[in-house]
Structure 1
């Protein structure tokens, strides 16, 4: 899945946080719902304007962002 078809960022919407296109629903919010035990079905029932692909796009976005993250540990003195 190419999340770029469903996730956008605009400085005028939620100060540029990534959101599901055409909404003010942030990727962060959707991930938080999933973290709190919501199923995809729960999300789609609560936000009927969303599609299953929107939820999967949030996960794909998060995966890609994390795959590019690098952590460097400084030696302990």
Structure 2
């Protein structure tokens, strides 16, 4: 799945904050919940507009990006 099919960035939706495509749920909310120890199933129960496949695909994409041998590119975009 391409990131553009998973995440929407639109200035008219939550001021351009990245959200799960087709929802108004910020992607950051998933990571905040997981960081707080909330299970994926509980997150999905709290945000039923996000599908399990969407959430898993976003996590897999983040994992691939952050474990890539090209992680230096992330530093260049953040700096």
Give the deviation of 1:22 after TM superposition. 1.6
Q: Distance in 2 between matches of 1:60 and 1:16?
A: 23
Runs of 4+ in 1 over 6 A off after TM superposition: none
Q: Deviations over 1:26-66 (max 9, x none)?
A: 111111011111111111122222211221233245443x5
CA distance in 2, matches of 1:33, 1:49: 16
Which protein has greater RCO, CA pairs closer than 8 Å, 6+ apart?
Answer: 1
Q: How many residues align?
A: 70
The structure with more helix, counted as a fraction of residues? 2
Which has the larger Rg?
1
Give the superposed CA RMSD: 2.0
Match of 2:74 in 1: 69
TM-score (normalised: structure 1): 0.71
Unaligned runs of 5+ in 1: 72-77
Q: TM-score, normalised by structure 2?
A: 0.70
Give unmatched runs, 5+ long, in structure 2: none
